[in-house]
Chains A and B, each alone.
Chain A
Amino acid sequence: MNRIQQKLQEDKKLLSIYFTAGYPQINDTVSIIEDLENNGVDMIEIGLPFSDPLADGPTIQESSTQALRNGMTTEKLFQQLKDIRKTVNIPLIIMGYFNPMLQYGVEEFCKKCEEIGIDGLIIPDLPVDVYSEKYQAVFEKYKLINVFLITPQTAEERIRFIDSVSNGFIYMVSSASVTGATSGFGSDTKDYFKRISGMNLKNPQIVGFGISDKQSFKEATEYSNGAIIGSAYIKHLTKNGVEKNIDFVKTIR
């Protein structure tokens, strides 16, 4: 069983953190991952920076631009993570856009992930249709779980299809927005959480986008298995530096 699947069986609401690799400094990647695990984070999304992150808001876009300026590349990230499994046990997911993976070579990329001990990938601009037709076999060969997004606008039939192709969890985007929106969850959003929960999907759901503090984490996980925090954590890093990065985690639980 993959570490993601194992973690999802634990009887708790999972706290997952996203950060951009190579930000604020190029070599912060490993220490951030270790700190997060040591302070109770259940799962980590390591952001592979991209020049044109379409689905992200200004916070993640800016951290990505800075990480690229710092010299972050796909190869560099793999080097940094080479020994990560000597110290870290929680599930690790790489989240990035498709073009850098395509240039690295999709199979080579997947192979490298397995060698390092990466458990899954989130690639927002690789649609489920293309994945199931062209890349699913390669992902499975290297035992990688691919995570797909759904939104409040995703039709029921398509959610069922995504559920059938998924084998880890479904990334439930909280609202129609890019990352980093902080509108709070209104009654529409709660109805959507309930509706999805009521569909009895085979994959558990983890909520992302718009979760920034203890209150929104609590609301997001009322009907789901966990939640992902990204932009709010990066803002904290920008303001307080890596040394104090765990202070943020402590405010959530």
Chain B
Amino acid sequence: MTYQADEKGYYGEFGGAYIPEMLYPNVEELKQQYIQIMQEESFQKEFKDLLKDYVGRPTPLYFASRLSEKYNTKIYLKREDLCHTGAHKVNNTIGQILMAKRLGKNRIIAETGAGQHGVATATVCALMGIECIVYMGEIDIDRQAPNVARMKLLGATVIPAKSGSRTLKDATNEAIRDWINHPVNTHYIIGSVVGPHPYPDMVARFQSVISEEIKSQLLEKEGREAPDYVVACVGGGSNAAGIYYHYLDNPDVGIIAVEAAGKGVLSGESAATSALGKEGIIHGSKTLLMQTQDGQITEPYSISAGLDYPGIGPMHANLYRTGRAEFISITDEDAMKAGQELARLEGIIPAIETSHALAIFEDRKFKKDDIVVLNLSGRGDKDLSTYIDYFNL
């Protein structure tokens, strides 16, 4: 039994590639080549060198002593917030830009919600001198002006998605349409472990550097490679896939996935996909997604723009369905409190996405000598205006 993808891109019953024929040649090309390319020595060297010298890896594994003391357990934070551009997203965009180069593509497209993935994509495109087009919902463009400015400063073109609900899912639709319209020269850098096979598996592999580093860092600090628990927030689920990756098939490691409950799971304004979703197809993948009884995809809500996606990656849908992972949902209010608490106890201002994961300690109790590693997936700079409004700072 494995919780990794099989060769057709299925995690149990979830995953696959439910794509229009127009996308088939592009997706098939990637599917045929991604593993081989990733295993090439020159690829590995370039990828690792950039992660080290450009991104700033390895990121620290930090023992949060005051937080641990408060919750009477041992909490380590994997400091992805210290990556260049401020979040784990760049691990994937570095990997995919190198992939695109080897596939001979000279034009990059991406979707973005809060703008973090857009910034990470614009960054690597600038680094490589490749044209970059980012699709972003019209509503998100208004909400996330600093990230729009960052992308423009980096030389990217930001195109507003004006259809449907004008947020992340529609930006994704627009990016897919662009790919259909540019079938030869363009690579689509998807920002999470979603979309048709091979994207969920490819993105998970690029993010797996997170748990790879934890193994050796924890060995040094605690004399063991595996913690008792790994914890991460899940929107689409790329930072979660990264921290779970090397522990998926180790039953001694508990996996905890934290979703955004928004104003409450049953409030009608939520993004708790595992609790509210049903099996279906979104963006080319069979997974759990929020939808009407009639199969129309609905708009989720969370205070955190990075968690309001109506689906979750197929890996996570399978972890939920099989019971391998424990899913917890956290409201806006509890997340904001946890973000403030980390700032005051440890001097780290987290992204609001990450704050959801931090909020579990209030109710989910661990043993005193449990080792819990939490993925501190991003820093809170981008969320400053939300923190200011929320706490009247």
Q: Report which A residues bind B (CB closer than 8 A).
A: 50-55, 57-58, 61-62, 65, 68, 73-75, 97-104, 124-128, 130, 148-151, 153-155, 158, 173, 176-178, 181
Q: Choose from A51, A124, A127, A158 the contact partner of B297 (Cβ within 8 Å).
A: A51
Taking a contact as CB atoms under 8 Å apart, the answer to whether A99 and B297 are in contact is yes
B294 at the interface (CB under 8 A from A): yes
Residues 152-164 of B, flagged 1 when their CB comes within 8 A of A and 0 if not, give 0000000000011
List 12 additional contacts besides A99-B291, A102-B281, A154-B25; criterion CB under 8 Å.
Answer: A51-B164, A52-B164, A57-B177, A68-B296, A101-B295, A103-B280, A151-B183, A153-B24, A173-B21, A176-B181, A177-B22, A177-B181
Q: Report which B residues bind A (CB closer than 8 A).
A: 16-22, 24-25, 163-164, 169-170, 173, 176-177, 180-184, 278-284, 291, 293-298
Q: How far is the CA of A126 from the CA of B295 in the complex (A)?
A: 15
Q: Choose from A61, A128, A158 the contact partner of B163 (Cβ within 8 Å).
A: A61
Q: How far is the CA of A110 from the CA of B295 in the complex (A)?
A: 16
Given A52-B169, A55-B180, A177-B180, A100 contacting B21 (CB threshold 8 A)? no
Interface centre among B184, B281, B284, B297 (most CB of A within 10 A): B281
Question: Which residues of chain A are near B177, meaning CB under 8 Å?
Answer: 54-55, 57, 178
A141 to chain B, nearest CB (A): 22
Interface centre among A51, A149, A151 (most CB of B within 10 A): A51
Given A149-B22, A177-B181, A103 contacting B294 (CB threshold 8 A)? yes
Q: How far is the CA of A101 from the CA of B291 in the complex (A)?
A: 13
Given A54-B173, A103-B295, A178 contacting B180 (CB threshold 8 A)? yes
Question: Which residues of chain B are near A154, meaning CB under 8 Å?
Answer: 21, 24-25
B20 to chain A, nearest CB (A): 4
A91 to chain B, nearest CB (A): 21
Q: How far is the CA of A173 from the CA of B181 in the complex (A)?
A: 12
Taking a contact as CB atoms under 8 Å apart, the answer to whether B19 and A127 are in contact is yes
B185 to chain A, nearest CB (A): 11
- The chain B residue sitting closest to A162, CB to CB, is B21
Q: How far is the CA of A137 from the CA of B286 in the complex (A)?
A: 21
- The chain B residue sitting closest to A54, CB to CB, is B176
Taking a contact as CB atoms under 8 Å apart, the answer to whether A52 and B173 are in contact is yes
Question: Which residues of chain A are near B183, meaning CB under 8 Å?
Answer: 151, 153, 176
A11 to chain B, nearest CB (A): 29
Q: How many A-B residue pairs have CB under 8 A?
A: 112
25 A-B pairs in the complex with CB atoms less than 8 angstroms apart: A50-B295, A51-B298, A52-B164, A74-B294, A99-B281, A99-B291, A99-B297, A100-B296, A102-B281, A124-B20, A124-B21, A125-B19, A127-B19, A127-B24, A130-B16, A148-B21, A150-B21, A153-B22, A153-B24, A153-B183, A153-B184, A176-B180, A176-B181, A176-B182, A181-B181
B18 to chain A, nearest CB (A): 5
Q: How far is the CA of A133 from the CA of B164 in the complex (A)?
A: 33
Taking a contact as CB atoms under 8 Å apart, the answer to whether B297 and A65 are in contact is no
A219 to chain B, nearest CB (A): 21
Question: Which residues of chain B are near A101, meaning CB under 8 Å?
Answer: 295
Taking a contact as CB atoms under 8 Å apart, the answer to whether B280 and A102 are in contact is yes
Q: Which 7 A-B pairs have the closest CB atoms?
A: A103-B295, A100-B295, A149-B21, A51-B296, A124-B20, A55-B20, A153-B25
Taking a contact as CB atoms under 8 Å apart, the answer to whether A130 and B18 are in contact is yes
Taking a contact as CB atoms under 8 Å apart, the answer to whether A58 and B163 are in contact is yes
Q: How far is the CA of A58 from the CA of B17 in the complex (A)?
A: 24
Q: How far is the CA of A198 from the CA of B82 in the complex (A)?
A: 59
Taking a contact as CB atoms under 8 Å apart, the answer to whether B163 and A65 are in contact is yes
Given A103-B295, A178-B180, A98 contacting B18 (CB threshold 8 A)? yes
Q: How far is the CA of A101 from the CA of B182 in the complex (A)?
A: 29
Question: Which residues of chain B are near A127, meaning CB under 8 Å?
Answer: 17-19, 21, 24
Question: Which residues of chain A are near B16, meaning CB under 8 Å?
Answer: 130
A95 to chain B, nearest CB (A): 12
- The chain B residue sitting closest to A72, CB to CB, is B294
Question: Which residues of chain B are near A173, meaning CB under 8 Å?
Answer: 21-22
Q: How far is the CA of A149 from the CA of B183 in the complex (A)?
A: 15
Taking a contact as CB atoms under 8 Å apart, the answer to whether B21 and A99 are in contact is no
Question: Which residues of chain B are near A125, meaning CB under 8 Å?
Answer: 18-20, 281, 284
Question: Which residues of chain A are near B294, meaning CB under 8 Å?
Answer: 73-75, 100, 103-104
Q: How far is the CA of A21 from the CA of B164 in the complex (A)?
A: 18
- The chain B residue sitting closest to A74, CB to CB, is B294
Q: How far is the CA of A160 from the CA of B260 in the complex (A)?
A: 47
Taking a contact as CB atoms under 8 Å apart, the answer to whether B22 and A103 are in contact is no
Question: Which residues of chain A are near B278, meaning CB under 8 Å?
Answer: 103
Given A103-B280, A178-B181, A52 contacting B295 (CB threshold 8 A)? no
Question: Which residues of chain A are near B281, meaning CB under 8 Å?
Answer: 97-99, 102, 125
Question: Which residues of chain B are near A62, meaning CB under 8 Å?
Answer: 163
- The chain A residue sitting closest to B176, CB to CB, is A54
Question: Which residues of chain B are near A55, meaning CB under 8 Å?
Answer: 20, 22, 177, 180
Interface centre among A97, A99, A126 (most CB of B within 10 A): A99
A205 to chain B, nearest CB (A): 14
B236 to chain A, nearest CB (A): 15
Taking a contact as CB atoms under 8 Å apart, the answer to whether B176 and A158 are in contact is no
Q: How far is the CA of A61 from the CA of B16 in the complex (A)?
A: 25
- The chain B residue sitting closest to A154, CB to CB, is B21
Taking a contact as CB atoms under 8 Å apart, the answer to whether B280 and A65 are in contact is no
Q: How far is the CA of A198 from the CA of B169 in the complex (A)?
A: 41
B287 to chain A, nearest CB (A): 11
Question: Which residues of chain A are near B25, meaning CB under 8 Å?
Answer: 153-155
